[in-house]
């Protein structure tokens, strides 16, 4: 990395940099100040060739959990932020217990036993749910009431063995209270609420109701009552207009900003085109937050699982691209839950998942200050192949900066350019919205780069990036 001569100001006059608005996270509705970390099962569930010995059951989940603990320093695990999150398929598919509550499929899991075991390992447990109540449970009575389940229905069958609620009816909140109360008794620490609309596209065989935002409110209200810290993560690719964003931000701890990132079948976990799309959706998300003045922000983005732990023959993206994924997930203050096979981490995967400078210093900073796009050459926030981002600066003037070359747009990146090979990426202080001198450190290389004043540059190949810590020079 080197300092290049300052660019002349004249070409910038036609498109002056936008003044920097520092984005800051506040405590989430359920009381969390950091995003969750850990493992989610879905990537290994659907990409079966990536880890043929993985079966979605308690034994395989505990194998992943033990591998995560073995490969993660105790100093990181002691944060209490590490979760083992079960995705779809852990529960009985089309009916609940005598009160219509969601229950575990005992041929695969004993949830209370699993939670106890994970807690003993210093980990927490997450489970997956969708809106609505089982269509076959209509004649059952909601726990603690004399309300028949069918009297809470709105009449719409969503194709997932469930009928949607009429959220204005008595009994709807009581049912959510009973479910979350059962989860709390089991020891559940995180609820992933999927297929929330508006936003989620209807999957094959399902017909999602246009608006199930009431489920988010009901689960949040139930969490408030149980007296146990439980995260509420909602998905997928949720509507970001002001009306619904206000609901998400008032009730959930994180929200998915994109569709599924995994490669959807086969023996690889992820690909670069969908990664470009996920990053572009985050750019849109954080730009909207600034534009609509949702500050401070009380909900974290979820860019989906970070597939960074395994070598290219499993993950299918290059080492540079894996590093870029890790950089963007960390710098955005997003959920840091991985879909990687923790039993098969390579050396780079271990570093990307555990390097203290990234997972303590940077992550603690960006859990308060997420990054935003600042286009090289203009300081605007549009989609670009050669991009710069800044998180902060904080009260001391310190910041995190990312320089990146996404490579040619593969159809979903949003920037529609195809610059091939190594490119120079230069961001001036005017682009970034800062002033003064900074001591700069390359985080992944654990290397001090020196003191910079005015601009910074990097030669970056396709898919390559640099994660930089900026500390105000004395």
Active site residues: 194, 260
Residue 16 half-sphere exposure toward CB, CA atoms < 13 A: 3
> Residue for token digits 């506040």?
26
Of 88, 169, 175, nearest in space to 137 by CA: 175
- Tokens for 26, please give them: 């506040």
How many whole angstroms separate alpha carbon 171 and alpha carbon 275? 42
> Residue for token digits 């028949």?
148
Answer whether 90's CB lies under 8 Å from 50's CB.
Answer: no
Tally of CB atoms within 10 A around 48: 14
Element (H or E) spanning 448, and its range?
A: strand 447-452
CA gyration radius for the chain?
Answer: 23
List, as one string, the DSSP characters of 285-336. HHHHHHHTT--SB-SEEE------SS-HHHH-S-HHHHHHHHHHHHHTT--E
Sorted by sequence, the CB contacts under 8 Å of residue 341 that are 6+ apart come out as: 44, 50, 51, 54, 64, 309, 310, 314
Instruction: Check the CA dihedral 194-195-201-202 and report its sign.
Output: positive
């Amino acid at each position: 990395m080197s300092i290049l001569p300052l660019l002349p100001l004249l070409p910038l006059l036609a498109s002056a940099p936008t003044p920097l608005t520092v984005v800051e996270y506040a405590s989430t509705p359920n009381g969390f100040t950091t995003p969750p970390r850990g493992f989610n099962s879905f990537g290994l569930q659907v990409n079966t060739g990536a880890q043929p010995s993985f079966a979605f059951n308690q034994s395989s989940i505990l194998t992943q959990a033990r591998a995560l603990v073995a490969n993660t320093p105790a100093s990181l695990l002691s944060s209490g932020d590490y979760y083992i999150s079960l995705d779809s398929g852990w529960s009985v598919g089309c009916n609940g217990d005598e009160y219509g509550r969601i229950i575990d499929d005992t041929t695969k899991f004993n949830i209370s036993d699993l939670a106890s075991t994970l807690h003993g390992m210093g980990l927490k447990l997450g489970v997956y749910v969708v809106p609505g109540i089982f269509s076959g449970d209509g004649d059952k009575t909601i726990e603690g009431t004399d309300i028949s389940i069918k009297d809470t229905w709105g009449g719409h069958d969503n194709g997932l063995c469930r009928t949607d609620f009429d959220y204005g009816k008595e009994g709807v909140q009581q049912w959510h209270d009973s479910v979350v109360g059962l989860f709390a008794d089991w020891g559940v620490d995180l609820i992933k609420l999927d297929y929330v609309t508006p936003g989620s596209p209807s999957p094959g065989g399902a017909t999602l109701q246009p608006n199930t935002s009431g489920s988010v409110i009901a689960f949040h209200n139930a969490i408030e009552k149980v007296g146990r810290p439980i995260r509420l993560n909602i998905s997928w690719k949720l509507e970001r207009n002001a009306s619904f964003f206000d609901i998400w931000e008032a009730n959930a701890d994180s929200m998915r900003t994109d569709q599924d990132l995994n490669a959807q079948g086969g023996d690889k976990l992820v690909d670069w085109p969908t990664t470009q799309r996920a990053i572009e959706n985050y750019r849109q998300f954080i730009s909207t937050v600034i534009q609509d003045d949702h500050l401070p922000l009380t909900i974290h983005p979820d860019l989906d699982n970070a597939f960074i732990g395994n070598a290219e023959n499993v993950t299918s993206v290059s080492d540079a691209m894996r590093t870029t994924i890790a950089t963007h997930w960390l710098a955005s203050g997003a959920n840091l839950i991985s879909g990687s096979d923790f039993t098969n981490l390579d050396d780079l995967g271990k570093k990307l998942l555990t390097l203290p400078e990234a997972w303590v210093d940077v992550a603690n900073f960006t859990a308060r200050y997420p990054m935003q796009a600042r286009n090289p050459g203009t300081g605007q926030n549009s989609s670009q192949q050669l991009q710069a981002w800044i998180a902060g600066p904080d009260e001391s003037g310190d910041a995190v900066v990312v320089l990146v070359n996404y490579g040619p747009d593969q159809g979903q990146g949003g920037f529609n350019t195809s610059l091939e090979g190594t490119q120079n990426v230069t961001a001036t202080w005017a682009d970034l919205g800062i002033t003064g001198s900074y001591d700069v450190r390359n985080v992944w290389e654990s290397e001090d780069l020196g003191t910079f004043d005015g601009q910074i540059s990097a030669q970056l190949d396709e898919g390559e990036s640099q994660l930089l810590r900026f500390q105000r020079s004395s």
